[in-house]
Structure 1
Amino acid sequence: MAMGNVGCSGGCSGKTDYPEWASEELKKKTEEHPCYTADGHKNARMHIPVAPKCNIQCNYCNRLYDCVNESRPGVTSGILTPEAAAKKYSIVKEKIENLKVVGIAGPGDALANFEETKKSIELIKEKDPDVIICLSTNGLMLPDYAEEIIALGINHVTVTLNSIDPKIGAKIYEFVNYKGKILRGEEGARVLQENQLKGIEYLTKNGVLCKINIVLVKGVNDHHIPEVVKKVRELGAFMTNIMPLIPAAGTVFENMPLVSKKELNELRNKCSITMKQMYHCQQCRADAIGQLTQDRSLEFRGTGEEKFEEKEERDLLVAVASKDRKLIDQHFGQVDRFHIYKYSKDGIEFMEEREIEKYCTGIESCDDKDSKIEKVIKTLGDCKMVLSVRIGYGPKQMLRSNNIYTYELYDTIEDGINTAFKKING
């Protein structure tokens, strides 16, 4: 590594060496990037929410939509198609002259939606070849897409890596969906960890600056973080960003204790001896726009965002849990057939019935839940929404990670479908 410092006044500290291969152009881009150096705070960034699906379920994550008053990773007011993202970029660029960076940070995972991610990058770079593209990922699919990331000309990648010990990782991740197979506990954490480390090492050896985000969960991985920082330094990562857990309602960690600013900075200071640390992270929304300390996303809300009723070029299918095709009156886990309806500008129309194996019929038959939910997802894969009286947290998250919304209510079918779409569309 060649020795060289990045300006970090008030926002980052520690070893700030550039790798010896870093060009002057890359250094200049990095110094303009508001997340990679505090001296870039005067510049604006734009997060494009083109990646709704996620392939892991973290115990702290709840991806919400139309939550304009909440600012944290995973929150967005809508989803953009690649074409809409490029159009919105042009509009934002006209109004924000210091827009330097386009980031893809969800609301799911950029690599779990790689075709959308890739297309968005290509379209925006056609409009502005000089824009800095930044990609964020949980790293599960990095070994599969690292070469394409490099080919796209992406120089800055952020990987969220919370543990390098599967025992600790098993406490943080509910499940890992690796190429269609659901992995839980230490097995899932181990596969995720191995892919993260392999991907980081490959990227850093091939000209990509990697920032490592680490979510500090008090009592779970706080004691382990210095070890994580040391490991990613060995792999060539450029900096780490230790972030406090934001307890989100509806998650396993919703009642976990908060970390004080003093505790957070003490840990950052300790780790700054090992490598460069970020102190100015705002834990931004997936659709954030503007400078880090001045989010202007509300100003551009609705520009290009996909709303269900606007998709007139295709019909949307809804799976309903109903005993007699009159009421939404069944629990998701007790359904042996779903009633499929078409929702379009012309109204609501019954299409067909689809038989499935009950997700749970009793304690003895619940050992095979993973394979059952996979079958349900395959059966309902073309549906945009599932309506039922109740649905458990696990299947709800699995369906959402496959871009299928869920809604719980007891109502007539037609009124229930209309209510659900109005609710999600805000």
Structure 2
Amino acid sequence: MACVCPGTISQDLLERTKKHPCYSADAHHKYARIHLPVAPRCNIQCNYCNRKFDCVNESRPGVTSEVLTPQLAKEKFQWVKEQIAELSVVGIAGPGDALADWQFTRETIEQIKEIDNDVTFCLSTNGLMLPEYAPEIVDLGIHHVTVTANALDPEIGAKIYKHVSYKGQKYEGAKAAELLSLNQLAGIEYLAKHEVLVKVNIVLIKGINDRHIPDLVKKVKELGAFITNIMPLIPAPGSAFEDYPQTSMKEINEMRNICQLDIQQMRHCRQCRADAVGLLHEDRSQEFRMCNRPPAETAAQILERKQYKIAVTTKHGKIVDQHFGHASQFLIYQGDGQEFHVAETRTADQYCQGMTECDEEDTNRDRVFQTLQDCDAVLTMRIGYQAKEQLRRHGVYSVEYCDTVENGLRYAASQLADNAL
């Protein structure tokens, strides 16, 4: 199958692609994008990756200052859209993998489509789950997908990937690399056959995959890839490759020139954060953190009149960084929506007893809900559907958030106020 070329693309998709800063060299200084970090989990471990969720001074994939729920992502999109007229693309690039948390990714896209069906959606993935979710990606109307693929040869891939977690099993070595590569290639082929423009990201790692890259580029071209993006290794502190030398742009451009003979090359990549906002050369992610969003006036009026009691799951009392199912104690805060103080600490049986999923009903967990039934809300990083429903039946509102406790409490209070309007 030949690579996708402009003559085979529909007019609508061609116009969208012209406004996509990653797919069009002419668009990156005219049109803006927003990356919504709603997918924190990852199902592979790359030796060059060390993801940090709150690292404001770094600009690389996998880094974000906040993790959002789909509802928060929708609100952030609305806020940014009001402020940046040239916003044309909504991307989901983790901070883990968009398909490892597919339910959050899909819900985010569906919610944004309800308010703006003209925006272009884009996903970034390692491709492990592409064979399973590619049909849904097509059905959702997503026409731009980036797949990071670094090797065809399993022996080379084994030097790049520490392990792969696939459908409940953990794979290591060449077996893991082979499984990942087969799924990536199958997914690329399926998407290309269904009018999805696939960009393949390749991290050049000297001494490991550098001589192998031209073969990889030829293969993805054969499967229908639209463009490839050969990127330099960023030696992330704490990663297995932290002591590897960073690939020079001279070496990157030499490889791009070789591969340009087979397929068009992206040459303006900024290796963006998972919460990037704005033009490629002008990231405004810190300006548009949710804690900086102006509060709604109607909600603020209610907050001044009402006192709230909110239970928080937090490991050290500073960040909302604990799953509801893993909490064995809750900090109980009281306040008027703007100012809060710790009223008490309550211990409780841990809702999730070591299971992968925390949604199964268990009569022994009733004590957890009884412990919290006098609260207005529970503020937590994540909560399963069944637990959320049980809390709702006890009259307790669930709020998912990943930021400071102070900002989370104000956000939770605003949600309670909005819910009361």
- Give the TM-score taking structure 2 as reference length: 0.73
Q: Is the 8 A contact 2:4 2:197 kept in 1?
A: no
1:175 is the counterpart of 2:163: yes
Name the counterpart of 1:149: 137
- Residue by residue over 1:380-399, the C-alpha shift from the partner in whole angstroms, topping out at 9 and shown as x without a partner, is 969xxxxxxxxxxxxxxxxx
* Structure 2 letter corresponding to 1:285: R
Identity %: 56
Residue 303 of structure 1, CA deviation? 4.5
Name the counterpart of 2:416: none
Determine which of 176, 190, 204 is the counterpart of 1:202.
Answer: 190
Runs in 1 of length 4+ with deviation above 4 angstroms?
A: 311-315, 379-382, 421-426
Name the counterpart of 2:94: 106
Name the counterpart of 2:20: 33
Q: Is the 8 A contact 1:317 1:340 kept in 2?
A: no
Q: How many residue pairs were aligned?
A: 335
Q: Is the 8 A contact 1:87 1:304 kept in 2?
A: no
Determine which of 70, 78, 95 is the counterpart of 1:82.
Answer: 70
Structure 1 CA distance for aligned equivalents of residues 215 and 268 of structure 2: 22
Name the counterpart of 2:59: 71
* Structure 1 letter corresponding to 2:74: A
Residue 19 of structure 1, CA deviation? 6.1
Unaligned runs of 5+ in 1: 3-14, 306-310, 320-337, 355-374, 383-401, 405-420
- Residue by residue over 1:83-125, the C-alpha shift from the partner in whole angstroms, topping out at 9 and shown as x without a partner, is 1111111110111000000000010000011111011001111
* Structure 2 letter corresponding to 1:316: T
Residue 226 of structure 1, CA deviation? 0.6
Residue 422 of structure 1, CA deviation? 6.6
Name the counterpart of 1:128: 116
Structure 1 CA distance for aligned equivalents of residues 162 and 57 of structure 2: 27
Q: Is the 8 A contact 1:318 1:343 kept in 2?
A: no
Structure 2 CA distance for aligned equivalents of residues 350 and 131 of structure 1: 46
Structure 2 CA distance for aligned equivalents of residues 197 and 19 of structure 1: 24
* Structure 2 letter corresponding to 1:71: S
Structure 2 CA distance for aligned equivalents of residues 89 and 117 of structure 1: 14
Unaligned runs of 5+ in 2: 294-307, 317-325, 334-342, 360-380, 384-402, 409-421
* Structure 2 letter corresponding to 1:266: E
Residue 348 of structure 1, CA deviation? 3.2
Distance 1:379 1:269, change over 3 A: closer
Distance 1:97 1:85, change over 3 A: same
Structure 2 CA distance for aligned equivalents of residues 291 and 207 of structure 1: 26
Q: Is the 8 A contact 1:57 1:173 kept in 2?
A: yes
Structure 2 CA distance for aligned equivalents of residues 353 and 93 of structure 1: 41
* 1:19-418 → structure 2 map (5 Å cutoff): 20=8, 22-41=9-28, 42-303=30-291, 316=313, 340-345=328-333, 346-352=343-349, 378=355
Structure 2 CA distance for aligned equivalents of residues 269 and 347 of structure 1: 63
Residue 65 of structure 1, CA deviation? 1.8
Residue 206 of structure 1, CA deviation? 0.9
Distance 1:184 1:100, change over 3 A: same
SS at match of 1:299: coil
* Structure 1 letter corresponding to 2:355: K
- Residue by residue over 1:28-53, the C-alpha shift from the partner in whole angstroms, topping out at 9 and shown as x without a partner, is 11111000011111100000000101
Distance 1:98 1:339, change over 3 A: closer
- Give the TM-score taking structure 1 as reference length: 0.73
* Structure 1 letter corresponding to 2:233: L
Residue 261 of structure 1, CA deviation? 1.1
Distance 1:130 1:423, change over 3 A: closer
Residue 160 of structure 1, CA deviation? 0.4
Structure 2 CA distance for aligned equivalents of residues 46 and 40 of structure 1: 14
Structure 2 CA distance for aligned equivalents of residues 339 and 117 of structure 1: 25
Structure 2 CA distance for aligned equivalents of residues 30 and 61 of structure 1: 29
Residue 69 of structure 1, CA deviation? 1.0
- Residue by residue over 1:169-207, the C-alpha shift from the partner in whole angstroms, topping out at 9 and shown as x without a partner, is 111111101012111111111111111110110000111
Structure 2 CA distance for aligned equivalents of residues 155 and 188 of structure 1: 28
Distance 1:202 1:64, change over 3 A: same
SS at match of 2:101: helix
RMSD: 3.0
